[in-house]
Structure 1
Amino acid sequence: MSDATTADGPAITPEAVPGIRGALIRYRVMAYVVGTLLVVLVLVGVPLKYLGGNGIVVTMTGVPHGYLYMVLLFTAYDLGRRVHWPWGRLILIALCGTVPFLSFWAEHSARTDVQARLRAVAASPSAPTP
Structure 2
Amino acid sequence: MSGALSRFRFMAYVVGVGLLLLVVAMFVKYIGDNAGMMAVVGPVHGFLYAIYLVFTVDLALKARWSLKGSALVLLAGTIPFVSFYAERKVVESVKAERAL
Equivalent-residue separation in structure 2 for 1:107 and 1:59 (angstroms):
28
Query: 2:26 aligns to what?
Result: 46
Query: 1:88 aligns to what?
Result: 68
Q: CA RMSD in A?
A: 1.2
- The aligned length equals 98
SS of aligned partner of 1:97? helix
1:12-91 → structure 2 map (5 Å cutoff): 20-42=1-23, 44-91=24-71
CA deviation profile, 1:19-75 (whole Å, cap 9, x unmatched): x00000000111111110101111x11111111111122122111111111111110
Ranges in structure 2 where 5+ consecutive residues have no aligned partner: none
One-letter code aligned to 1:23? A
Equivalent-residue separation in structure 1 for 2:95 and 2:36 (angstroms):
40
Answer 1 or 2: higher relative contact order, Cα 8 Å, separation at least 6.
2
Ranges in structure 1 where 5+ consecutive residues have no aligned partner: 1-19, 119-130
SS of aligned partner of 1:53? coil
SS of aligned partner of 2:48? helix
Greater gyration radius: 1
Runs of 4+ in structure 1 deviating by more than 3 angstroms, as ranges, are: none
Equivalent-residue separation in structure 2 for 1:96 and 1:54 (angstroms):
28
Identity of aligned pairs, percent? Answer: 41
Equivalent-residue separation in structure 1 for 2:25 and 2:71 (angstroms):
27
TM-score by length of 1: 0.72
SS of aligned partner of 2:78? coil
Query: 1:13 aligns to what?
Result: none
CA deviation profile, 1:73-124 (whole Å, cap 9, x unmatched): 1101111111111111110011111111111111111011011119xxxxxx
Query: Which protein is richer in helix relative to its size?
Result: 2
SS of aligned partner of 2:65? coil
